[in-house]
Amino acid sequence: MLNHLKQELLEMLNEKELYKFIYAYHEAPIIMIYDIKYDNQTIRLPIDGNNHRIIFENDVEETELTHTFKNKGEYKITIYGDNITYINYGKLPFWECFYLKEVVSYGTSKLNKISFKRCISLTKVPDELIETVDDISEMFSETKNFNQDITNWNTKNIINMSGMFEKSIFNQYISNWDIENVKDMSYMFYNANEFTQNISQWIIKTDINTKNMFVGAGISEENKPILK
């Protein structure tokens, strides 16, 4: 029966389409939206892993992490690959971070680290944080348009929040976040002068790194967390 099904699929789909079909049903991809501002713009995806298969909206498929768009415009980028453990824009020079507009899905990847540092066009990410992530240091550092409601994120597995909102405009309610396992909050709100939310319900243990956590932040003293 399986051979019969395979034969039918081969008849219906060419090799490229069959490849897409197999991936679609066995592995959900990472999906991003890029807003390309100029013709002949080259981008680089800051991910690791191997066996990459990157599908661009205009049906261009690549195995490399770089691609040049002939025309400016908005593009959906679909990313398949094995052992992808990070998305880290902090590894790129600042001018390569300008074009990411939205992250639609993290797929079924087993990411450990996510950072959109300096992604100044970013406005939206998935509503849920995947459970495998434990490092969100510099996640929204120096973002200039991101202010999404991420109140319901499950942060119980997070260890590193260092510089998460550094120099960002973020100002949303996050008082209900679980910070029990966090070890590093240094520079978390450094120069985040828009952030004024009440997080006084957080209880931060003395062994947690809180160096310069609120330096330059807009938060008032009464809204800061309890140190124990």
Instruction: Let me know whether 35 and 106 are in one domain.
Output: yes
Provide the domain limits for residue 219: 134-228
In a structure prediction context, what are the per-residue pLDDT tens digits for the chain, which is 228 residues long? 556 665 665 555 555 555 554 444 457 999 999 999 999 999 999 999 988 999 987 777 889 999 999 999 999 999 999 899 999 999 999 999 999 999 999 998 889 999 999 999 999 999 999 999 999 999 999 999 999 999 999 999 999 999 999 999 999 999 999 999 999 999 999 999 999 999 999 999 999 999 999 999 999 999 999 887
Q: How many CB atoms lie within 10 A of CB 37?
A: 11
Instruction: Let me know whether 142 and 219 are in one domain.
Output: yes
Query: Do residues 114 and 86 lie in contact, with contact meaning Cβ atoms separated by under 8 Å?
Result: yes
Helix and strand counts by DSSP (H, E) for the chain: 2, 11
Query: Do residues 37 and 71 lie in contact, with contact meaning Cβ atoms separated by under 8 Å?
Result: no
Instruction: Let me know whether 71 and 154 are in one domain.
Output: no
DSSP structural state of residue 209: B
DSSP structural state of residue 47: B
Q: Where are the beta strands (DSSP E) in 6-158?
A: 30-36, 41-44, 50-56, 61-62, 66-69, 73-82, 86-88, 100-105, 113-115
Identity of the residue numbered 120:
I
pLDDT score, position 4: 63
pLDDT score, position 77: 96
* Per-residue CA distances from 107 to 36, 126, 130, 198 (Å): 23, 10, 9, 32
- Number of separate domains in the chain: 2
Estimate to the nearest angstrom the gap between the alpha carbon of 45 and the chain centroid: 12
pLDDT score, position 66: 92
pLDDT score, position 25: 43
Residue 14 covered by a domain = yes
**Beta carbons within 8 Å of 20's beta carbon, 6+ residues apart:** 55
| Tokens standing for residue 153 | 């994120």
| Tokens standing for residue 118 | 């300096």
The number of C-alpha atoms within 13 Å of 180 and in the hemisphere containing its C-beta is 6
Residue 185 covered by a domain = yes
Instruction: Let me know whether 105 and 172 are in one domain.
Output: no
Q: How far apart are the first and last CA of the chain?
A: 64
The helix/strand/coil state of 17 is: helix
Instruction: Let me know whether 102 and 201 are in one domain.
Output: no
Instruction: Let me know whether 78 and 163 are in one domain.
Output: no
Instruction: Let me know whether 139 and 106 are in one domain.
Output: no
Q: How many CB atoms lie within 10 A of CB 146?
A: 21
Residue 120 covered by a domain = no
